[in-house]
Amino acid sequence: MNGIAELVDQVADGLSQLRQLLDDPSALPLATITRDIARLERAMDKKAYVDAAFAQACVLADAGKLVGANHPDAYLTEKLGISRGEAYNRIARAKALFDAPPEPPEPEDFFFEEDCTEDDRLAAEEAARKAAEEEAERRRKDQEEARKRADEVPAAKQDIIRRELDKLLKAAEGERMRIYARAMEQAKYRDEKDLRLFVKRLVAEANKPYVKANPNAGFEKRDASLGRENVDGTFDVTLSMTRADYALYKALTDKGLSPNSNIPEELQGDRDPRTKGQRRYDQYMAILRQYEEGQQAANGGAASVVVSITLDDLAEADANTLFQTNVGVELDAFDLVRLGMDGTSDFLLTVDGLSGVPLHLGRSRRLASVGQRIAMFAVQGVCSWAGCTTSMSECEAHHIISWLRYGATDIENLTGLCPTHHRCNNDRRDGSFNKGYMDYDPDTGGAGLVKADGTRHTNTTDPAMHSAVNRIKAKRASASAPPPAETHWPTSPPPPGRAGHAAHANQPNHRPNRPGHRMPMRP
């Protein structure tokens, strides 16, 4: 394996030299270097195969345990510095390329006529066995062909193929390797959009006979996916519905297509300026708000969207100020009004204990209360595991001293963890399986990760540091810090980027600190 180190050195050195040669783009002889840059681009396609092979090695070694986690994607993210999404993609590509193809289904029981001889029965069973072996061999060869072409297909195209193949019905899984091999063959000649359409058509053809045979076959493919934020502040949401659910969705949203529907009476006019799509959207949101109000009435005021705001935030806010929420989406003042958070009755004091919401339940109750969950959001903002940015709405309440070890359900013993990191926590605190555990930092009083080697790590991601309590702490620390000493520059101002200069220049004006903070929530 020493050869790998040498080759990596060569690649790294080569890229470093290229970077130096291309330092001044204005002086590059475009016509002369285009062919070479194109060769480099094709050569980099092989990185996808290398990534998949390494991911497979991590799977086989159960590498997640080496970093105190349950799955190998954690090893990839920690050791390579890639995102969880990219780690998942690499593991998925590894499975497609290196895992044994799924075995053909077992032959169904045969039904023979009464006059059928034993030889006929044996011949039929032998024919079925042979057909299954041939099918298994075909799948193996298809995978081999796909693997041969994998170093010519960039990661982006391989991920497109995999995502479209995931739309195969369970009954059509036998066609996966055949479609996979064809798609990898065509990927070299098709752009990403055309490749997606090509694979989509093959998947539809494979699904077609099973859809006809089983009208409910698509139910297992129902899906709701949430996209990333667009530049205009909108989000794309994709729903994959069965025919029945689509019919219900359409019937309910069609109710909002009439002019002036879902508009306050005082704002209704002779002409409704909204498009058909906007009216359907407004009807859909009216349905969601009706559901939310019912759930809140049933759960004693549990908020579906919680906004973390300090008193300083309210004093300094303008129309463009963004506020942190428990779902990981930052909202401005207009968004709050749209959600109905413009009334004073929506405010709940939590951190300073003025609300009367019980935060100390002791051993009387295992599950955290609504007030405790809101307080945890105010304190930590996101999952408290070091480096995690999962929103609090997806987190679970974790007992720092476990419930089984008589830990109390008090706010001092609670912290929010996402499901992945909740399962990684070692309640025994004995370093077993190389897993760490959550504990309160004696210096800061906040929850932090203690790794198996005893080192302590706090979550310093941007959303964690932007929580309401951390902002209050930062302002208190800034207010109590001694003023910077006056600096006299001899003849000229400090050079750009001098340590501490830019940060000092960008410090906000701090108002006198006020106790407590407010968090609007739906009543």
Share of the chain above pLDDT 90, in %: 38
* C-alpha span between 281 and 299 (Å, rounded): 27
Q: In terms of domains, do 238 and 285 share one?
A: yes
- 403 and 254: one domain? no
Average pLDDT (105-129) is 70
What letter would DSSP give residue 28?
-
Question: CB of 383 within 8 A of CB of 390?
Answer: yes
Strand (E) or helix (H) holding 53: helix 46-60
Q: Any residues with CB less than 8 A from the CB of 169 and at least 6 apart, and which? A: 206, 207, 210, 211, 217, 218, 220, 221
- Calpha distance 123→114 (Å, rounded): 16
Strands 307-310 and 235-240: unpaired
Please determine, for residue 73, whether its predicted confidence score (pLDDT) is greater than 90: yes
Q: What sign does the dihedral 308-310-314-320 (CA atoms) show?
A: negative
| Chain mean position to CA 208 | 32
- Mean predicted confidence (pLDDT) in 264-291: 87
- Which residues have CB under 8 Å from 303's CB, separation 6+? 296, 326, 370, 374, 521, 522
On whether both 516 and 453 belong to a single domain, the answer is yes
Residue 28 domain-assigned (yes or no): no
State whether 304 and 375 are in the same domain: yes
pLDDT at 301 over 70: no
Considering the domain boundaries, does residue 10 fall inside one? Answer: no
Tell me the DSSP string of 263-274. Answer: S-GGG--SS---
Please give the pLDDT value at position 506: 35
Query: Range of 254's domain?
Result: 226-265+273-298
Which residue among 169, 198, 225 closes a domain?
A: 225
- 180 and 86 within one domain: yes
Residues 350 and 387 in one domain: yes
Please give the pLDDT value at position 437. Answer: 94
How many domains in the chain? Answer: 3
For the cut 50, the answer to whether the pLDDT of residue 430 exceeds it is yes
CB 101 within 8 A of CB 146: no
Asked, for residue 414, whether it belongs to a domain, the answer is: yes
HEC letters along 192-224: HHHHHHHHHHHHHHHHHHHHHHCCCHHHHHCEE
Q: Residue 9: inside a domain, yes or no?
A: no
For residues 331 and 465, state if they share a domain.
yes
232 belongs to a structural domain: yes
pLDDT value of residue 361: 60
- Say yes or no: 287 and 383 in one domain: no
* Residue 502 included in any domain: no
Q: Give the pTM.
A: 0.68
* Same-domain check for residues 213 and 277: no
* Whether residue 352 has pLDDT greater than 60: no
Position 116 confidence tier, pLDDT thresholds 50, 70, 90: confident
Chain centroid to CA 398: how far?
20
195 shares its domain with 231: no
Query: Which pLDDT score, from 0 to 100, does residue 300 have?
Result: 58
Is the pLDDT confidence value at 495 over 50?
no
- When pLDDT is averaged across residues 179-208 and rounded to a whole number, the result is 93
Q: Quick one: 338 and 425 in the same domain?
A: yes
Q: Is the pLDDT of residue 12 over 80?
A: yes
Question: Residue 363 has what pLDDT?
Answer: 64
- One-letter-per-residue 3-state SS of 323-363: EEECCCCCECHHHHHHCCCCCHHHEEECCCCCCCCCCECCC
Q: Is the pLDDT of residue 158 over 90?
A: yes
Q: Could you give the percent of the chain with pLDDT greater than 70? A: 81
Looking at the structure, do residues 210 and 236 belong to the same domain, yes or no? no
31 is a domain residue: no
438-486, pLDDT tens digit by residue? 998 777 778 999 999 999 999 999 989 888 888 877 777 777 766 655 5
Q: What is the mean pLDDT of the chain?
A: 80
Q: 284 in a domain, yes or no?
A: yes
Pick the range with the lowest mean pLDDT from 147-151, 223-227, 347-351.
Answer: 347-351
Assess whether pLDDT exceeds 80 at residue 200.
yes
